Structure 1
Amino acid sequence: MRVFNLIWAGQGVSLIGSAMTTFGIGVWVFLDTGSPTYFATLVLAASLPALLVLPIAGALVDRWDRRRVMLLSDTGAALTPAGVVLLHTTGALQLWHIYLLVGIGAVFKAFQWPAFSALVPQLVTKDDLGKANGRVSLIEAAGQVFGALLGGALYALVGLPGLLAIDLLTLAAALGTLLYSFRWLPVEPPRPTGDGPATTHRDELLEGWRFIRQRPGLLGVLLFFAANNLVMEMAIVLVPPLVLSTHTPADLGVVNAIGWTGMTAISLVISLTRGPRRLVRAILTVALCHAALVIAMGIEQSVWMLAAGMFGILGGYAVTNAASATLWQRKTPQDKQGRVFAIRRMVAWSAEPLAYGLAGPVAQLIGTPLAQRLDLGSGGGIAAVFLLAGPALLLVITLTWLRPAVRQVETDLPDVITTPVPQH
């Protein structure tokens, strides 16, 4: 795993820098405008372009040299901090500049994820896939934790330009490790076999979806995550207002910190082991735990209950992220992984804006009357959403488990992982 670890370390450092930039730009936008709407628009600008570009990115990742795709992605990601620094230094920075540059950076990131995910099974053995994916989850969680902590500590000292300059240095580290590893990485994606290459760009864009649709087990897993993410994100997006309805902003900081610590700690454990053996069972077991935690958070809103709930929820995500990635890498041929992984991520991401849009109306129109009837007290409308989300998640789990194709996907579909590239 030497080459994988080298690239992984570089990407991990870059993720910390990116999280610092995200924190700094968000603070700058809110302090400059004082508007939650403008802040929410920033979040949309950072996610929607990537969601729209993902299918195209997946098809191109399977056609292009994946080493160069990652280089292009990391280099393009530097446009956001470099552009903001330049405009801020010259005094020309405006809000629309921020939205445009963040959106451009999101497009480049849409290429980076499927390319890196497709490279992982070519760099590690089949038995080490779980460990490798655990390390990927680890740097994602650690990037959020350390990026927020460092961003908050350094913003007052160096301001937005200083944070962006640090981000550029971390991107340089990611590019350096990637360039150093070039000689050990596959020169080009594997050629299509069996059904032959797609004949048109439209066929290539649809190939990932056709691959999933023809495999009921993988389709069932994908639909589970779509429904699971919809229900869970409706609850998670309401955690800050749930905390602030009865506690202080400092308490919200404690809840967030403990939650991300859970994801970091569990990811660390997985990164040092081979992960769960029964992947589908692990995914559904974590979902059961999530349902119990969501219900508990709806019943009891003390700081420590909410913090423990977020610790378990985000820690559980570390398990499901690693298990899901391992499952898809084992069952998807190398020449199709870019397209298939892009569809998989697009479906997962598409549930989030829908959940964000539904959470408020559900809390107001359904949760508040229910809370008044149950006498849930302050923040009761939000707490009622948690009490509804738990049973809804149990229903999703039950319907998924009742499908034999999903339960048996690990044995019904053969593993297609190939021997990793020799690393000397």
Structure 2
Amino acid sequence: MKKLYSLYILIITQGLSLVGSRMSGIAIGLWLYQTKGTTMYLLLIPFFNEITAVIFGGIAGIVVDRWKRKYAMMLGDLGQAVGTVLLFVCTFGNNLNIYLIYIAVIIQGIFTLFESIAADAATTMMVTESHIDRANAIKEMTFPMAGIIAPVISGFLYVIIGIEGILLIDFVTFIISVVILIFIKIPEPEIQEYHSSEDNNFIKDMSTGFMCLLKVKGLFGLTLYITFINFMLNGPLELVIPYITKINGNSFVLATILAIMNLGAFMGAIIIAVYEIKLTRINTIILGINISSVMFLIFGIARTPLFLGGSLFILMIPLPIINAMFKSIIQTKVTASMQGRAFSAIAQISNAIVPLSFVITGFLIDNILEPAVAGPNWKVIGYFLGSKPGSGIGLILVVTGALILIVTLIVRRIPNIKYLEEKS
């Protein structure tokens, strides 16, 4: 019971700091899009935030497995606070330097990695295997909840206290999280053989996370599949703001649809937290991805607020379920003392590819698809997607949904992935 209590306190504090981060992210993202007028500047923020895992993922995994996981989480929060301070400094005089913003984002990305890997690895030690799906689902609730709360608060406070005030709130949430972590007891796994002097080689140690994934048949394949899905989703999902802005242009409609979008993800987390899903975790992942891919197709051709909001709501419901199930599979298939490096290996694989989604998507929209909408070669596509601003983004969304659906139909027929949970 004490472990569960500590876990819930940990989740609440993480949620609080996440709200602060989303508030500052919204404020800076809106400023970039309004002042620069292109999607590329906006998409480079998540690109720089995530690419750091490729370089620092192995180090983060080793630190998490060798340190107390509480200390790794505290380091993560303090590092993110430093990044927020840098953002605060470059906002003086309302003259944001875009290069300093990207440097601050890189710093925050590095320490977010430490915090998230440590939190995922610590969850295993705080709940039994029978409750791990529910624990991961409750953790997943913090993301959409922050997505619902942050736009409302940041939109209201931005006018009153400005971007500097919002960044200050973000900084305070990190400090609160560190203080609370001091008093939380997080169990540590038993020391395993990899700590022996023979194996205590830093470079060799960095590869052990990948070996954990390769050791279980199908686990590495599942990781590559989830990486592909994230690659296909991340860039297009960042287009929600410019897509709805181009189609509708009403800030109230945009704010409402963003809230509905995050409400969908929140509902998905509630479903898995409250109800026991009878399907295997693998089949649940496959079903959820199929649903999201179909909703991408609908979202790409939707033009009215009702269909835009409705398709996004349903699209988002499976995503926290998929994330929770994937984490549960890793937590049940990999030894607890190795999970820091296993999760860091996953972050390295994912972030070596996924951030390119932001760059490719931004380039296609700004330089090829949106300019092509007014051209003669758009007529056939325009028959289905229209020929108004935003139609180029609609094409990206439709193609994304179709590719995800096709690849998922192929993956579900691969035995090593399909029967992964039956393997020891």
TM-score (norm 1): 0.86
Aligned twin of 1:329: 331
Task: Read off the aligned partner of 1:373 and give its amino acid letter.
Answer: V
Task: Read off the aligned partner of 2:317 and give its amino acid letter.
Answer: G
Superposed displacement of residue 323, structure 1: 0.9
For structure 2, list consecutive stretches of 5 or more residues without a partner in the other structure: none
Q: Does the aligned pair in 2 maintain the 1:295–1:390 contact within 8 Å? A: yes
> Relative to structure 2, which stretch is displaced further, 149-158 or 393-402?
393-402
> Relative to structure 2, which stretch is displaced further, 6-15 or 287-296?
287-296
One of 385, 394, 397 as aligned partner of 2:396: 385
For structure 1, list consecutive stretches of 5 or more residues without a partner in the other structure: 414-424
Superposed displacement of residue 277, structure 1: 5.1
> When the two structures are aligned, how many residues end up with a matched partner?
410
Report Cα offsets for 1:169-202 as digits up to 9, x if no partner: 2223212321111xx323x553224896734211
Aligned twin of 2:26: 23
Aligned twin of 1:317: 319
Report Cα offsets for 1:316-335 as digits up to 9, x if no partner: 10110111111111111112
Q: 1:100–1:237: structure 2 CA closer, same or farther, 3 Å change rule?
A: closer
Sequence identity percentage: 23
> Relative to structure 2, which stretch is displaced further, 57-66 or 3-12?
57-66
Q: Does the aligned pair in 2 maintain the 1:128–1:274 contact within 8 Å? A: no
One of 372, 375, 378 as aligned partner of 2:379: 372
Task: Read off the aligned partner of 1:334 and give its amino acid letter.
Answer: A
Aligned twin of 1:354: 356
Task: Read off the aligned partner of 2:234 and give its amino acid letter.
Answer: E
Q: 1:76–1:139: structure 2 CA closer, same or farther, 3 Å change rule?
A: same
Aligned twin of 1:232: 233
Q: Does the aligned pair in 1 maintain the 2:43–2:235 contact within 8 Å? A: no
Aligned twin of 1:420: none
Q: 1:276–1:57: structure 2 CA closer, same or farther, 3 Å change rule?
A: farther
Q: 1:256–1:28: structure 2 CA closer, same or farther, 3 Å change rule?
A: closer
Superposed displacement of residue 311, structure 1: 0.9
Report Cα offsets for 1:58-106 as digits up to 9, x if no partner: 1221122211111111122211233444565699974443333332222
Q: How large is the Cα RMSD of the aligned pairs?
A: 2.9
Q: 1:40–1:356: structure 2 CA closer, same or farther, 3 Å change rule?
A: closer
| Aligned-partner Cα distance in 1 for 2:55–2:164 | 29
| Aligned-partner Cα distance in 2 for 1:218–1:411 | 12
One of 275, 278, 281 as aligned partner of 1:279: 281
Aligned twin of 2:420: 409
SS in 1 for 2:403: helix
Q: Does the aligned pair in 2 maintain the 1:294–1:309 contact within 8 Å? A: yes
| Aligned-partner Cα distance in 2 for 1:159–1:304 | 32
| Aligned-partner Cα distance in 1 for 2:315–2:46 | 22
Q: 1:300–1:146: structure 2 CA closer, same or farther, 3 Å change rule?
A: closer
Report Cα offsets for 1:105-136 as digits up to 9, x if no partner: 22111111111100001011111111110111
TM-score (norm 2): 0.86
Q: Does 1:156 align with 2:159?
A: yes
Q: Does 1:398 align with 2:409?
A: yes
Q: Does 1:191 align with 2:191?
A: yes
Superposed displacement of residue 355, structure 1: 2.1
Q: Does the aligned pair in 1 maintain the 2:44–2:358 contact within 8 Å? A: no
SS in 2 for 1:191: coil
Task: Read off the aligned partner of 2:226 and give its amino acid letter.
Answer: F
Superposed displacement of residue 49, structure 1: 2.5
One of 106, 120, 124 as aligned partner of 1:121: 124
Q: Does the aligned pair in 2 maintain the 1:212–1:218 contact within 8 Å? A: yes
Task: Read off the aligned partner of 2:254 and give its amino acid letter.
Answer: L
Task: Read off the aligned partner of 2:141 and give its amino acid letter.
Answer: L
Aligned twin of 1:421: none
| Aligned-partner Cα distance in 2 for 1:91–1:240 | 23
Task: Read off the aligned partner of 1:190 and give its amino acid letter.
Answer: E
Aligned twin of 1:222: 223
Q: Does 1:296 align with 2:298?
A: yes
Counterpart mapping for 1:338-349 below 5 A: 338-349=340-351
Aligned twin of 1:57: 60
Q: Does the aligned pair in 2 maintain the 1:61–1:115 contact within 8 Å? A: yes
> Relative to structure 2, which stretch is displaced further, 259-268 or 75-84?
75-84
Report Cα offsets for 1:338-371 as digits up to 9, x if no partner: 1111121333334432223333566646996885
Q: Does the aligned pair in 2 maintain the 1:55–1:342 contact within 8 Å? A: yes
Q: Does 1:104 align with 2:111?
A: no
Task: Read off the aligned partner of 2:125 and give its amino acid letter.
Answer: Q
Task: Read off the aligned partner of 1:4 and give its amino acid letter.
Answer: L
Q: Does the aligned pair in 2 maintain the 1:329–1:337 contact within 8 Å? A: yes
Aligned twin of 2:213: 212
Q: Does the aligned pair in 2 maintain the 1:130–1:276 contact within 8 Å? A: no
SS in 2 for 1:216: coil
Q: Does 1:44 align with 2:47?
A: yes
| Aligned-partner Cα distance in 1 for 2:405–2:37 | 40
Q: 1:218–1:260: structure 2 CA closer, same or farther, 3 Å change rule?
A: same
| Aligned-partner Cα distance in 2 for 1:311–1:222 | 26
One of 12, 22, 42 as aligned partner of 1:9: 12
